[in-house]
Chain A
Amino acid sequence: MPGRCAYGDHGVVSTATRTTARLLRRPGSWRPAGVAAGIAEHIGVRVRLVRLGFIALAAAGGLGVALYGAYWIVLPAAPDAPPSRVPPWLEYLLAGVAAIAAIGGVAYAMPLSGVFAPTLLACLGGALIWRQASEPERDRWRRLSRTSLSADHDERMGRIRLAAGAALVLAGGGIVLARANFSAIRDGLLAVTVTVVGMALLTGPWWMRMMTQLGTERSERIRSQERADIAAHLHDSVLQTLALIQRNAGSPREVSRLARGQERELRTLLYGSRTASGQLADELRIAAAEVEDAYAISVEAVVVGDTALDDALAAAAAAAREALVNSAKHAGVTEVSLYAEVEPDAVSIFVKDRGVGFDLDAVADDRQGVRGSIIARVERHGGEVKVRSQPGTGTEVEIRIAR
Chain B
Amino acid sequence: MSPRVVLVDDHAMFRSGVRAELGDRVDVVGEAGTPAEAIAAIRSSRPEVVLLDVHMPDGGGLAVLEAIGPELPDIRFLALSVSDAAEDVIALIRAGARGYVTKTISADDLADAISRVADGDVVFSPRLAGFVLDAFRDSPVAPSVDPNFDQLTPREREVLRLLARGYAYKEIAAELFISIKTVETHASNVLRKLQLSSRHQLTRWAADRRML
Chain A interface residues (CB < 8 Å from chain B): 267, 271-272, 298, 300, 302-305, 337, 339, 341, 350, 352, 354, 396
Contacts and interface: CB of A to CB of B under 8 A. Distances in A.
A300 B129 CA distance: 12
Nearest to B171: A393
Contact of B130 (A272, A298, A339, A396): A339
Contacts of A339: 126, 130, 161, 164-166
A304 B164 contact: yes
What is the size category of the interface that chain B forms with chain A?
Answer: 10 to 19
B74 interface: no
Nearest to A354: B166
A329 to B, nearest CB: 18
Nearest to B210: A271
B199 to A, nearest CB: 16
A89 B127 CA distance: 87
Nearest to B137: A305
Contacts of B44: none
A302 B130 contact: yes
Interface in B99-147: 104, 126-127, 129-130, 133-134, 137
B126 A298 contact: no
A45 to B, nearest CB: 70
B42 to A, nearest CB: 30
A302 B167 CA distance: 13
Contact of B212 (A302, A337, A352, A354): A302
A305 B164 CA distance: 13
A337 B126 CA distance: 8
B166 A337 contact: yes
B113 to A, nearest CB: 15
Given A271-B85, A300-B127, A302-B164, 18 more contacts: A267-B84, A271-B210, A271-B211, A302-B126, A302-B127, A302-B129, A302-B212, A304-B133, A304-B134, A304-B164, A337-B166, A339-B161, A339-B164, A339-B166, A350-B165, A352-B165, A354-B166, A396-B165
A345 B177 CA distance: 26
B interface majority secondary structure: loop
B211 A267 contact: yes
Contact of B161 (A271, A272, A341, A396): A341
A191 to B, nearest CB: 59
B43 to A, nearest CB: 35
Pick the most buried of A272, A300, A302, A350: most chain B CB atoms within 10 A of its CB: A302
Given A339-B164, A339-B165, A352-B165, A304 B130 contact: yes
Contacts of A354: 166
Nearest to B134: A304
Contacts of A298: 104
Nearest to B128: A302
A313 to B, nearest CB: 18
A289 to B, nearest CB: 14
A304 B127 CA distance: 10
A361 B161 CA distance: 28
A341 B134 CA distance: 9
Contacts of B127: 300, 302
A300 B210 contact: no
A352 B212 CA distance: 19
30 contacts: A267-B211, A271-B85, A271-B210, A271-B211, A298-B104, A300-B126, A300-B127, A302-B130, A302-B164, A303-B212, A304-B133, A304-B134, A304-B137, A305-B134, A305-B137, A337-B126, A337-B165, A337-B166, A339-B130, A339-B161, A339-B164, A339-B165, A341-B161, A350-B165, A350-B166, A352-B165, A352-B166, A352-B167, A354-B166, A396-B165
